[in-house]
Structure 1
Amino acid sequence: MQTLRNAFRCSWSSPERLDGKTVVITGANTGIGKETAIDLAKRGAKVIMACRDMEKAEAAVKEVIEKSGSENVLCKKLDLSDIKSIREFAETINKEEPKVNILINNAGVMMCPYGKTADGFELQIGVNHMGHFLLTHLLIDLIKRSAPARIISVSSMAHSWSSINLEDINSEKSYDKRKAYAQSKLANILFTRSLAKRLEGTSVTTYSLHPGVIQTDLYRHLNGPQQFLMKIISPFTKSSVQGAQTTIYCAVEPSLVKESGGYYSDCAPANCSADGKNDELAEKLWELSCRMLSITWE
């Protein structure tokens, strides 16, 4: 019903400017990340595109500059499947940037064959959750100093397909790529909820979102029948531009300044699964993430 209601809602747009603001977007060299970069650069923000593949990133920077008309766009190397790379990226940002007003945790992998990150995490939970959890932790002091500021995590309606297996978060006992993807997207929502509580009173707000079913190269790991299904429903899917709108909404919509920790879809508040509202589960995931990443984050 939520999706149906949202389909008939007037499309959202805002003249909001971001002059003098700095934005970091992970996975910004393709898809909705790139479209988000174009939009926020048009609004006057300095945009830092954090990407794994620097060759693709440099080509994307040129496109973002061309389409936005802003020269204030650059890329930096960030591999979210490698703690060393995340720490190096954060160190560079903390050293070179006086502020980060908006952090968009956008990068992700989807339903890939079983694999592990450089540090031994199952790939989907490692990149989609652990990598962004650590990155946010390493930038949080700079973000707080830049307040008012926002932290946005791109989740998915797929979060409702599974829960979080705290006993086997790396899917070592059994691996179902669909459930592992769902677990990682649920983790984004729970992280956002926990983070909002910890940031109360700091003027830093947090949001998670479902971008929509999008025409994206993330589907390359789907099997034959799944790819066939995606072809059938493709007329009803969103383009990358349309898919970026809820991210942009969470980044700039003035009325959200008083909101934090919520989940959004189609540029409006949306319902997440019961697990997505489970504060006890969120807290357990937070503690497990800190333990696995060997960090202390109160």
Structure 2
Amino acid sequence: MGSDGRVCVVTGANSGTGYVTALELARGGATVVMMCRNAEKGEAARAAIVAETGNDRVELIVVDLAEMADVRRAVREFTERHSTLDVLVNNAGGITQTRRESSEGLEAMFAGNYLGHFLLTTSLLDQLKAAEHARIVNVSSMAHKGARIDFDDLQNRSGKNAMRGYGQSKLAQILFTYELAERLRGTDVTVNAMHPGAVASGFKNGTDGVVKAVIGAFYAGFGISPEKGADTILHLANSPEVADVTGEYFIKRRPVATSKTSYDVEVRRRLWAVSEKLIADIAG
């Protein structure tokens, strides 16, 4: 198989839209680095992609994005192998019904959906800038609408409705996208966010009981396939039509408006500063 010369990273690449994204990038001949939390599932997915595409340049890095120390280790592992990064797809994410903490004391959804990707992306900026026309794709959600960033209780230690943390984490991704796009003006790196749609996958795995049943029924009735969910991701990663587009939010390949809060420059800059401090404090 020929190579398209690119190096691509896809988080949460062992299932759902992440798997389809990694599969299609590999099918196109790229070197694909799959970042997955579960080693066994990640290796099975990697082997399946190699078998289907004939592309043996598919790698696995095991990482828990909710653990900042593990993200740093994954960055070191990647940079030891690769000096450039052409496409970064921040896809991994999930929802938990009750509040959970990482070993570092971070609320799990805020850490895994947003902060780990913030650290991963900012740690790989040198590799992205070293590539030619690099692209960052942040997989967000319509769930950001109606959410706000609670700077007084980012980790939801007050125990209020734990599921509100999902909307907050997805809003944080969009704020991060807009701020990063502004900071990358004048470089050859673009960054965009997108909503994949209601993808029928393992999304409900962090829930149980009635909530799991309701979510399961919704996706069974209205969910789209991972292939359809990955379509806009692949469009943003591959299409020459969006080669110079940055700082946008896409649904079904089209840029659309996000919530009023997501355009608040003061909020996005404050979130960036708070995120850097959280990561620095954890590192000690």
Tell me, yes or no, whether TM beats 0.5: yes
Amino acid paired to 1:133: F
Write the distance in 1 (CA, Å) between the matches of 2:19 and 2:261.
30
Confirm whether residue 110 of structure 1 aligns to residue 95 of structure 2. Answer: yes
Amino acid paired to 1:26: T
Is the alpha carbon distance of 1:233 and 1:35 closer, same or farther for their aligned partners in structure 2, counting shifts above 3 Å?
Answer: closer
Write the distance in 1 (CA, Å) between the matches of 2:42 and 2:215.
31
- Displacement after TM superposition at 1:121 (Å): 0.9
* Map of 1:172 onto structure 2: 157
1:121 to 106, 109, 130: 106
- Displacement after TM superposition at 1:233 (Å): 5.6
Amino acid paired to 1:245: D
Residue identity (%): 33
SS at match of 1:290: helix
Confirm whether residue 293 of structure 1 aligns to residue 275 of structure 2. Answer: no
* Map of 1:202 onto structure 2: 187
* Map of 2:210 onto structure 1: 224
2:254 to 268, 282, 287: 268
Write the distance in 1 (CA, Å) between the matches of 2:112 and 2:160.
16
2:241 to 252, 255, 275: 255
- Displacement after TM superposition at 1:69 (Å): 2.9
Amino acid paired to 2:214: F
- Displacement after TM superposition at 1:147 (Å): 2.9
SS at match of 2:160: coil
The CA deviation string for residues 213-270 of structure 1, in whole angstroms up to 9 with x for no partner, is: 0111111315415623642563332111111111111111212122111101111112
* Map of 1:144 onto structure 2: 129
Contact 2:199 2:219 in 1 (8 A): no
Write the distance in 2 (CA, Å) between the matches of 1:283 and 1:245.
31
1:187 to 160, 166, 172: 172
Is the alpha carbon distance of 1:161 and 1:48 closer, same or farther for their aligned partners in structure 2, counting shifts above 3 Å?
Answer: same
Contact 1:26 1:105 in 2 (8 A): yes
Structure 2 gap segments, 5+ residues each: none
2:12 to 27, 31, 37: 27
Write the distance in 1 (CA, Å) between the matches of 2:257 and 2:127.
31
Write the distance in 2 (CA, Å) between the matches of 1:48 and 1:86.
14
Confirm whether residue 283 of structure 1 aligns to residue 269 of structure 2. Answer: yes
Confirm whether residue 64 of structure 1 aligns to residue 85 of structure 2. Answer: no
- Displacement after TM superposition at 1:193 (Å): 0.3
Write the distance in 2 (CA, Å) between the matches of 1:229 and 1:243.
17
* Map of 2:227 onto structure 1: 241
The worse-fitting range, judged by mean Cα deviation, of 69-78 and 17-26 is: 17-26
Q: Which runs of 4+ in 1 moved over 6 A?
A: none
- Displacement after TM superposition at 1:111 (Å): 3.1
Write the distance in 2 (CA, Å) between the matches of 1:175 and 1:240.
32
1:155 to 134, 137, 140: 140
Is the alpha carbon distance of 1:222 and 1:45 closer, same or farther for their aligned partners in structure 2, counting shifts above 3 Å?
Answer: same
Coordinate RMSD, CA, aligned? 1.7
- Displacement after TM superposition at 1:73 (Å): 0.7
Alignment length, in residue pairs?
279
Write the distance in 1 (CA, Å) between the matches of 2:3 and 2:245.
19
Amino acid paired to 1:286: W
* Map of 1:73 onto structure 2: 58
TM-score normalized by structure 2?
0.93
